C-alpha cells in the first residue's frame, strides 16, 4: 500500500516533541508499505528553520527504508504572534500543495491528514479530490474549540470559517480517527458524525525506547551530572505555549522554595522567554529551563526524575484530551502530577498512576507535591502502576498495527 501523510509537524530525526507518526510510519514501513510524508520546515515550538533549509522552498530526503519526507516552506513568522502563526499555517498549505504536484511521485491509495493545525486539511482535500483517492482525517485536538477557549483565536470571521471548514473535512473524510473517547463522543453527539466512519487509535507509549533505557540508565550518575542530587525532581516535557499555561509551575515553585523540590522544564515555545523572565524576576532558584533534546535524551531525563507533570490551561476543551507527555511518563515508570481535568484525570486515576491536581490552583499543586515527597514508596508504586497500565492498553506497536488494519481497507491491490 502507498500512504500519503500530510503532517506539518512531522519530527526531524533529532527533534524532541510528539513523535506519534514518526513511530507509526516506522511500523507501517516495516510491513513493506510505502509512506510519503509532506511536512513543514519549522518545528511546532521553534521560530527558525534549520540551516540546511535556508534558501530552499522544498527539501526531500529518504527518511528511512520505505519512508520519504518532503519538507515544504513554512514562514518564519510562525511563533511571533497570532497573525504570524496564521501565516505559518497558510504558507504551509500553499507550499505543500505545490510540493505534492511538483516533487511527489504517485500513485497513492489514500491520503492521511493529521490535525491540528486544521488548515492542513486543505492540502489533503485538494489532493484527495484531484487524485480521486480516499481521505483519512485524524483529530489530535478539537480545533477550533481549543484555540477559542485559550484565547488564541478571537476573530469572528476566522472562527466562522474554521467551523465551516471543520464540518467540510468531516463530511469529506472516508475515515476519521480520534485520539480520545471524549473526541468520539463530541463528534457523534455534537457534530452529527456517523459513528461508522469513526475509529479511535489514541496516543501511546514508545516501549521500544523506554524498555531499552530503563535497565541501563545510571540514575545516581546522571542526577549528579545534572545537579539534581538530593532534589525531588518534577519534570515537565513539552511545549511552552499559551495552552500549557506553565505559570502554574512558577506559582507552585514559589510556594515550595524552602523545600528540596526542583522543577525542570524541557522544551520550547512562544511563552518560554516570558516564563524565564518571570522566574528570574521571582528569584526562583528551584526552577530550571532546558533546551529541547532528542527523544532518547528526554527519556533519560524522565527516568531519573521523581515525578512528571502534565499541564494545560483550565478550559473546558482540554477536559477532552490526553496529553502526549503522560504516556512518556508512564513508559518511564515515574508517577504523574495530572494538572488537567476530564478524561486525563480519569486515566491517571484508573491506572493508579499518579495524583490529580486542580488546574491553576497553586496551593493544591504544591500540597500534592509535598504529599509525594513524604510518601515516596507510594509514589514509586504509582510509577510502576502507570507502566503496567500503559503496557496493557497503550503500547504504540500494538496500536500502530491496529491503525494499519483500518488503513488497509483502502489498499487498491
Instruction: Summarize pLDDT for 207-222 with one digit per residue, the tens.
Output: 989 999 999 999 999 9
Three cell numbers, residue 163:
467551523
Q: Does pLDDT of 301 surpass 80?
A: yes
Rounded average pLDDT over 67-89: 80
* Average pLDDT of the residues of the chain: 92
Whole-angstrom distance, CA of residue 245 vs CA of residue 341: 14
Q: Does pLDDT of 175 surpass 70?
A: yes
pLDDT-based confidence at 261, cuts 50/70/90? very high
Query: What does CATH list as the number for 207-393?
Result: 3.40.50.2000
Sign of the torsion angle spanned by Cα atoms 185, 136, 240, 395: positive
- Of 23, 64, 66, 63, give the one whose Cα is nearest residue 39: 63
- Of 389, 394, 345, give the one whose Cα is nearest residue 368: 345
Q: Does pLDDT of 20 surpass 70?
A: yes
Rounded average pLDDT over 342-350: 95
What are the C-alpha distances in Å from 332 to residues 210, 282, 375?
Answer: 6, 32, 19
Q: Does pLDDT of 262 surpass 70?
A: yes
Percent share of the chain, pLDDT over 70: 97
Does 147 or 41 have the greater pLDDT score? 41
Whole-angstrom distance, CA of residue 63 vs CA of residue 384: 35
- Of 188, 289, 294, give the one whose Cα is nearest residue 235: 289
Packing angle between helix 247-255 and helix 272-281, nearest 10 degrees? 20
Whole-angstrom distance, CA of residue 91 vs CA of residue 72: 9
Q: Does pLDDT of 376 surpass 80?
A: yes
List % helix, strand, coil for the chain (3-state, nearest 5): 45, 20, 35
Whole-angstrom distance, CA of residue 337 vs CA of residue 246: 13
Three cell numbers, residue 298:
528526554
- For CATH 3.40.50.2000, the residue range(s) in the chain are 2-204+395-410, 207-393
Residue 15 has a pLDDT of 66
List CB contacts of 285: < 8 A, sequence separation 6 or more.
257
Rounded average pLDDT over 136-160: 85
User: 98: phi > 0 → left, psi -120 to 50 → alpha, else beta; which?
Assistant: alpha
Residue 45 has a pLDDT of 65
Assess if CATH 3.40.50.2300 describes domain 2-204+395-410: no
- Of 72, 375, 362, give the one whose Cα is nearest residue 354: 375
User: 245: phi > 0 → left, psi -120 to 50 → alpha, else beta; which?
Assistant: left
Q: Does pLDDT of 16 surpass 60?
A: no
How does DSSP classify residue 230? T
Q: Does pLDDT of 354 surpass 70?
A: yes
Rounded average pLDDT over 151-163: 84
Rounded average pLDDT over 31-60: 87
Three cell numbers, residue 309:
507533570
Three cell numbers, residue 253:
515553585
Q: Does pLDDT of 47 surpass 70?
A: no
CA angle 39, 40, 41 (to 5 degrees): 130
Does 382 or 156 have the greater pLDDT score? 382
pLDDT-based confidence at 413, cuts 50/70/90? confident
Encode 344-365: b = buried (16+ Cβ within 10 Å), e = exposed: bbebbeebebbbbbebbbbebb
Q: Does pLDDT of 378 surpass 80?
A: yes
Q: Does pLDDT of 298 surpass 90?
A: yes
Percent share of the chain, pLDDT over 90: 74
Least confident span in 83-97, 308-322, 330-344: 83-97
Rounded average pLDDT over 388-406: 94
Amino acid at each position: 500500500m502507498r500512504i500519503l501523510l500530510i503532517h506539518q509537524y512531522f519530527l526531524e530525526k533529532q527533534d524532541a516533541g510528539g513523535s506519534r507518526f514518526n513511530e507509526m510510519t516506522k511500523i507501517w514501513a516495516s510491513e513493506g508499505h510505502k509512506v510519503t510524508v509532506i511536512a513543514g520546515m519549522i518545528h511546532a515550538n521553534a521560530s527558525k528553520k534549520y540551516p540546511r533549509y535556508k534558501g530552499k522552498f522544498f527539501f526531500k530526503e529518504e527518511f528511512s527504508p520505505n519512508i520519504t519526507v518532503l519538507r515544504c516552506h513554512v514562514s518564519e513568522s510562525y511563533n511571533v504572534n497570532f497573525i504570524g502563526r496564521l501565516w505559518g499555517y497558510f504558507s504551509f498549505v500553499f507550499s505543500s500543495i505545490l510540493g505534492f504536484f511538483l516533487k511527489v511521485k504517485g500513485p497513492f491509495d489514500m491520503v492521511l491528514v493529521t490535525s491540528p493545525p486544521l488548515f492542513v486539511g486543505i492540502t489533503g482535500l485538494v489532493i484527495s479530490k484531484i487524485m480521486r483517492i480516499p481521505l483519512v482525517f485524524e483529530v489530535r485536538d478539537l480545533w477550533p474549540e481549543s484555540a477559542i477557549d485559550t484565547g488564541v483565536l478571537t476573530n469572528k470571521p476566522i472562527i466562522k470559517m474554521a467551523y465551516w471548514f471543520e464540518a467540510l473535512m468531516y463530511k469529506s473524510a472516508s475515515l476519521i480517527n480520534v485520539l480520545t473517547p471524549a473526541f468520539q463522543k463530541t463528534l457523534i453527539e455534537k457534530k452529527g458524525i456517523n459513528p461508522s466512519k469513526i475509529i479511535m487509535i489514541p496516543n501511546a507509549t514508545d516501549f521500544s525506547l523506554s524498555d531499552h533505557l530503563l535497565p541501563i540508565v545510571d540514575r545516581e550518575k546522571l542526577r549528579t551530572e545534572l545537579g539534581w542530587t538530593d532534589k525531588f525532581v518534577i519534570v515537565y516535557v513539552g511545549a511552552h505555549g499559551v495552552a500549557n499555561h506553565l505559570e502554574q509551575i512558577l506559582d507552585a515553585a514559589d510556594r515550595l522554595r524552602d523545600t528540596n523540590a526542583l522543577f525542570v522544564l524541557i522544551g520550547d515555545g512562544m511563552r518560554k522567554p516570558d516564563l524565564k523572565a518571570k522566574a528570574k524576576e521571582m528569584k526562583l532558584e528551584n526552577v530550571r529551563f532546558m533546551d529541547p533534546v532528542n527523544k532518547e535524551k528526554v527519556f533519560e531525563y524522565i527516568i531519573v526524575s521523581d515525578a512528571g507533570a502534565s499541564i494545560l490551561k483550565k478550559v473546558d476543551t482540554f477536559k477532552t484530551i490526553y496529553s502526549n507527555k503522560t504516556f512518556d511518563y508512564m513508559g518511564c515508570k515515574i508517577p504523574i502530577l495530572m494538572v488537567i481535568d476530564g478524561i486525563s484525570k480519569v486515566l491517571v486515576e484508573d491506572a493508579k498512576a499518579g495524583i490529580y491536581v486542580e488546574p491553576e490552583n497553586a496551593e493544591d499543586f504544591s500540597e500534592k507535591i509535598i504529599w509525594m515527597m513524604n510518601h515516596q514508596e507510594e509514589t514509586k508504586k504509582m510509577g510502576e502502576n502507570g507502566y503496567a497500565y500503559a503496557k496493557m492498553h497503550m503500547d504504540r506497536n500494538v496500536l500502530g498495527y491496529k491503525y494499519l488494519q483500518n488503513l488497509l481497507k483502502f489498499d487498491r491491490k
